[in-house]
Amino acid sequence: MNTSPVTKVLVIGYVWPEPRSSAASGHVMQILETFLEQGWNITVSSPAGPGEHKADLSALGIREVPIELNNSSFDAFISELAPGIVLFDQFMMEEQFGWRVEKHCPQALRVLETSDLQSLRFARQQRLKERLKDDPDNQDFTALFAPALREEFELMADSDLAKREIAALYRCDLNLMISQVEIQLLVEEFGLPGALLHWCPLMIDLPTAEPRTFAERAHFLSIGNFRHAPNWDAVLWMKTTIWPLIRAQLPQAQLHIYGAYTPPKATALHNPAQGFHVMNWAEDALQVMSAARVCLAPLRFGAGIKGKIVDAMLCATPSVTTPIGAEAMHGGLPWPGAISCSAEDFANNAVQLYRDEQRWEEARQAGQSLLSERYRKSVHGPALIDKLRDCLENLAQSRKSNFTGSMLRHHHHKSTQYMAQWIEAKNRNTLDKD
């Protein structure tokens, strides 16, 4: 039994966790569960309204406290709570609340949960747009998927988003990184100290149930939150190019597409005659994934690692994806399916996996090995706790060693504080006039 003193943790989320809607929220929930296993006292706050699929945190013993942007009520709240750890979910929350945390709880360990590098994802999206504009008919994206880290840096370095995001990483005491590729990019190209970064991928318990066999499965499946731009682009690429190539070889094939927050533009793509089914949100993503024979994830841009592919491995479902989809996910281990750079190669690999039971079985087994090697909660959970405790014990020295972060906090927090106070005063005057 853990006999360490209870630690108070405050999580400030950009949104309330929705683990059945996005991998990012799923990762947050895995972190919260790891904290609960330590007996820690957890409060989750967000300035956002509750989403359709919000997790019931109170049922887990987690306190839920809504907060407001640019409102000094947060100051009294955090002063009374006095957390030992404050975890910002997405860098924008550090931008908004970091100065208040430092002012009222200066000894709290400030941790940023990144999910992915948003500036990297945005830069890759811009690169795809330019590529499609210059050569719209070419469906081979090999060159797009093969930039060196230095090229990624040069693509990102001039953007305001990268400057904001990486400044937030410096200002925090520790940053949880889901992708080892992003760690390498930050250390080698942006010059961040490695001590500020901790690899914390998706953390799962290995499945124990016997999966469905090849013969017991049918159809292709794609899944992902429609609010996430890479997922919407993947759906469009499937609709216009990849799926017609698959149907040419498998005329009776069906593709089932699931995703939270399905917009009308996605529903409009639903076409049963073409075997293209837009199914909206899945109540149980693992259930529908377990029934599918092959998972399709044709991601042409993105960052982090892909929850849908981890779910596929959990369900013993082989996947076909791109180098973007596979990035940082398998180390040197075989991919549980196929990685393709062109629409034609993607479709051919999907058809072969769907038809060839032996190849399908080899891919399924590769997925089980990959889960065991890289994603076990029993490995990453204790590693995270050990890292947090080490940071707490050495907080004063690590902050002295991170002078750049201290300098950025000094300048950013002062300007943000004055702006927030001005906005609050302006809002107050508006209410008084009303």
Are 276 and 397 part of one and the same domain?
no
Are 31 and 98 part of one and the same domain?
yes
pLDDT at position 2 is 43
Are 153 and 38 part of one and the same domain?
yes
Helix 118-134, helix 229-237: angle, nearest 10? 30
| Domain CATH for 311 | 3.40.50.2000
How would DSSP label each residue in 256-323?
A: EEE-SS--HHHHTT-BGGGTEEEEE--S-HHHHHHH-SEEEE--SS--S--HHHHHHHHTT--EEE-H
Are 53 and 174 part of one and the same domain?
yes
Ordered per-residue pLDDT tens for the chain, 434 residues: 343 457 999 999 999 999 988 889 999 999 999 999 999 999 999 999 998 899 999 999 999 999 999 999 999 999 999 999 999 999 999 999 999 999 999 999 999 999 899 999 999 999 999 999 999 999 999 999 988 999 999 999 999 999 999 999 999 999 999 999 999 999 999 999 999 999 999 999 999 889 999 999 999 999 999 999 999 999 999 999 999 999 999 999 999 999 999 999 999 999 999 999 999 888 899 999 999 999 999 999 999 999 999 999 999 999 999 999 999 999 989 999 999 999 999 999 999 999 999 999 999 999 999 999 999 999 999 999 999 999 999 999 999 999 999 999 988 867 777 677 777 777 777 666 66
* Residue (of 120, 95, 94) closest to 179 by Cα position: 120
d(CA 127, CA 181): 18
d(CA 21, CA 222): 14
pLDDT at position 3 is 38
Domain that holds residue 332: 220-375
Instruction: Say how many domains are in the chain.
Output: 2
Are 163 and 90 part of one and the same domain?
yes
Are 343 and 357 part of one and the same domain?
yes
Are 33 and 149 part of one and the same domain?
yes
d(CA 346, CA 136): 18
Which of 375, 397, 421 corresponds to the end of one domain? Answer: 375
d(CA 30, CA 310): 14
> Is residue 338 assigned to a domain?
yes
* Residue (of 43, 46, 49, 23) closest to 114 by Cα position: 23
Are 244 and 363 part of one and the same domain?
yes
pLDDT at position 433 is 65
pLDDT at position 280 is 83
